Amino acid sequence: MEVRGSTVQPAEAIARNTLLVKVRSQLAQIPLLGWLFGTLTAMAIEQVAGRLLARALGLSGVPGLFGLRIMLTKPALIPSAVAYVLLVYALPTLIVARLSAPLANRLAKLLLDRFPLWVSLVVHLGLLYATLHLWGGTSAYRMLFLSFIFISIILTLSLNLVNGYMGEFSCSHPGFMAMGAYVASILTVLFFVQDDVFGAPLLPPALGPFLFPLALIGGGLVAAVGALLVAIPSFRTRGDYLAIISLAFLFIVKSVIENLEIIGGPRGLMNQPKWANLPTVFAWTAICVWTIYNFTRSTIGKAACAVRDDETAAGTMTINTRRTKMVTFLFAAFWAGVAGGLFAHVMGYINPGTFDVKKLSEVLAMVYLGGLNSVVGSIAGAFGIQLLMEVLRPLELFKWIVIPVLLIVLMILRPTGLIAFTEVNVEDLLKPRQKLEKGR
Amino acid sequence: MTLATFFQHLLNALQWGSFYALIALGYSMVYGVLMLFNFTHGDIFMVGAYIGFFVSSGLVALSSLGIIALPGWLILALTIIIAMFLTSFVGMLVERVGYRPLRGAPRASAAITGLMIGIVLETGNLKLLGAQRRHFPILIETQSYQLGPVTVTNTKIMIVFLSLLLTLALHQFVRRTKWGMAMRAMAYDFVVVPLMGVPLNTIAALTFGLGSALAAAAGIFFGIAYPILEPYMGLLVGWKAFVAAILGGRGSILGAALAGFLLGFIEIFVAAVFPSTLRDVIAYSIILIILTFRPHGFFGEPYSAQLRL
């Protein structure tokens, strides 16, 4: 430590230190609301001037994913891409967030003091959605990217319930997802679409978007019933044998679907109406995060954690371990089914090959990279891996070497995942920020 | 089904089951000793098959150039030995890279690194060798013998015989030798046994090496029976062998082999009686039923699996 101190000029060190402190104290005053104002402005700027600016910087169009892909494919354009990101996203966000900080603080305080917590939460979510809508609205590619991120978040959260909170190693999630996807698709195609196999629509198609949530719930419920097949053996066995049972379940589901000629067999099922647009997916994700967050803090969620730590001890402490396992499994499977239903209606086409072992390793990686027992960790994991897969797409085959190697290195450096066993307090997140005290 | 076709299917099932059995042994040993899922193992089977392919092609080229004239059976024997030896190093490397750094971590983290190393091996193979399929060289002429109405080929007999031999050899190794005793001790308690002076890392490397060598043998046998190699060949066979390994019971070598053969029987006979697309459904349903009534596998001790999470 002293060696380092002697090599740096003291005055310079102090100057840099104060600058850092200044920047940090400036940023620490901005509440979440202020950041959202900032990003919203940045997106609005992109809407208005993005294309023009991109042309002026020599880019062929508005960069799809913050210029990350451009940097990989055309190294010559890196300065322009960085300049674009700075000018359009970073600077406006920072400036607006800082300038609006006093107002945002007052507003956040007002919202928290005068209204119940959920009003404030809804306002934040609304602003977040507006930002995403503006960002995703510019291209179908971004829209699809966002939808996949949200679906991955639902999947990861629901798998985290079983693998993290309850401590089992379940491999059946792609199976639940497939069940949800197929049931929801069959419901919508049967009732609202003119199809070769399922015939004329039974209900007026105009009703479809309104009854679509019911189809999703139906898919989720069927997935939950399927989960009984895995949950009931889990009464007698734990951990590793359950991993095999769930793996066998996954293969059975996939194989059964491949053998059912009426739903397309291995060719897959198509003609799903693309009703899972961004607002729908966003709303379902918000509901999912909310319910799972509350589930983990409820009595039964705590009971699941107790079962994970020691099943026998939990049983002697009057926890009904069977009921806990059953409810957690079914609940998780329900959300995996909903995710599947959404996936089917984003793509407009599904086939059994999607829900295989590869999907399983993807979801497992998201859960374990993000961190067990953490809603925030799951969101981070799903977002991180989905972004990585999309950004590295220009590498083609090489992507499947880079991503696994990255994940191995990350796993070795942080064996429990990025954010494990920690949770964010929502109220702390939303509350207004104070100025940093002098001298801190 | 007549008796003749029954015996014909029985022979095919023995051959098909011996692949599963040999691969399942590797899963079972790693699972028994370290309580870890080695999800790379299916891909090690693939790597073993490719190493066998290159070794045998090289030897065939050498002997056809007249440098060393070797008969086919000697090439085959050399291929099996060299490939097993080389592949065991691949297994040890996997242990060193993906499992040893995570020794104190949650078990599932190691499973994830295993999965990822598997993907790296598959893609690396695809990237290095291209997408075309490789044809395993024919080393010994297939000869058919008629035993009454049943056709028996010499390769089938050899595969089944060698697989059983390797299984028994491994069983004896684990039962009789000092190294095997160390492995069994580690399987019994891997917290206390290292304190008694048994080197955990060496035993872990040995376990991975032995399992990988057997997977290489399975890969070569697979190449002899179905002479087409592709980078993703380890996926399907590997996952099924994994199921067989667990079905056999934790750490039970004979159990894993038995479950492997059983899985082979189920698959072949289901395909013989029902439409072959139903094979997976019925096979896995039977496994599900077995595990529901015998949750610890055939020879596994009922124990409480403490997940170190």
CATH number of the domain bearing residue A357 = 1.10.3470
A341: nearest Cα among A160, A171, A147, A125: A147
Cβ contact (<8 Å) for A259 and B281?
A: yes
Please check whether residues A131 and A145 belong to one and the same domain.
no
Which residues on chain B are in Cβ contact (under 8 Å) with A239? 305-307
Mutation choice for B interface testing from A249, A312, A400 by most B CBs within 10 A? A400
Cα first-last separation, chain B = 50
User: Beta strand B144-147 with B134-135: parallel, antiparallel or unpaired?
Assistant: unpaired
**Domain layout of chain B by residue ranges:** 3-293
ipTM associated with this complex: 0.84
Q: Which of A163, A173, A252, A311 to mutate to test the interface with B (most CBs of B within 10 A)?
A: A252
- CATH code of the domain made up of B3-293: 1.10.3470
Would an 8 Å CB–CB cutoff place B150 in contact with chain A? no
Question: Is A339 domain-assigned?
Answer: yes
Q: Measure CB to CB from residue A408 to each of B113, B246, B297 and give the nearest one.
A: B113
Query: Is A439 a domain residue?
Result: no
Judge if pTM exceeds 0.80: yes
Domain-embedded: residue A244: yes
Residue A382 within any structural domain of the chain: yes
Residues A18, A35 within the same domain = yes
Q: Considering only alpha carbons, which residue of chain A is nearest residue B288?
A: A245
- Is the same domain home to A123 and A246? no
Domain end among A106, A136, A166: A136
Check whether residue A170 and residue A276 sit in a common domain. yes
Task: Give the pLDDT score at B96.
Answer: 93
Q: Flag if B287 and A244 touch (Cβ within 8 Å).
A: yes
For the CA atoms of A418, A423, A425, A429, what is the dihedral angle to 10 degrees?
10
pLDDT tier at B264, thresholds 50, 70, 90: very high
C-alpha neighbours within 13 Å on the C-beta side of residue A82: 7
Q: Are residues A80 and A148 in the same domain?
A: no
Is the pLDDT at B148 greater than 80, yes or no?
no
A437: which DSSP letter?
Answer: P
The residue among A82, A105, A136 that closes a domain is A136
Cα four-point dihedral sign B76, B77, B82, B83: positive
Confidence class for position B209, pLDDT limits 50, 70, 90: very high
For chain A, the domain total comes to 2
Cβ-Cβ contacts under 8 Å, B105 against chain A: 411, 415-416
- The radius of gyration of chain A from alpha carbons, rounded to an integer in Å, stands at 24
Paired tokens of A231? 């949950």
Is A437 a domain residue?
no
Q: Tell me: pLDDT of B306 over 50.
A: no
Same domain assignment for residues A152 and A193: yes
Looking at the structure, tell me whether residues A27 and A116 fall in a common domain: yes
Secondary structure (3-state) at B229? strand
Q: Decide if A404 is inside a domain.
A: yes
Are both A61 and A155 inside the same structural domain?
Answer: no
Place of tokens 């740096």: A8
Residues in chain A: 440
Task: Average the pLDDT over B69-96 and give the result.
Answer: 91
Query: How many Cβ pairs closer than 8 A exist between chain A and B?
Result: 149
Within 8 A by CB and 6+ apart from A140, the residues are none
When scoring A163, A165, A236, A240 by the number of chain B Cβ atoms within 10 A, the one with the most, hence best to mutate, is A240
Average pLDDT over residues B166-180: 92
Task: Give the residue numbers spanning the domain of A333.
Answer: 140-427
pLDDT tens-digit readout, A257-297: 998 888 888 888 888 888 888 999 999 999 999 999 999 98
* Same domain assignment for residues A401 and A256: yes
The arithmetic mean of pLDDT across residues A169-183, rounded, is: 92
Pick from A89, A108, A136: which residue ends a domain? A136
CA distance B271 to B269: 5
3-state secondary structure of A421: coil
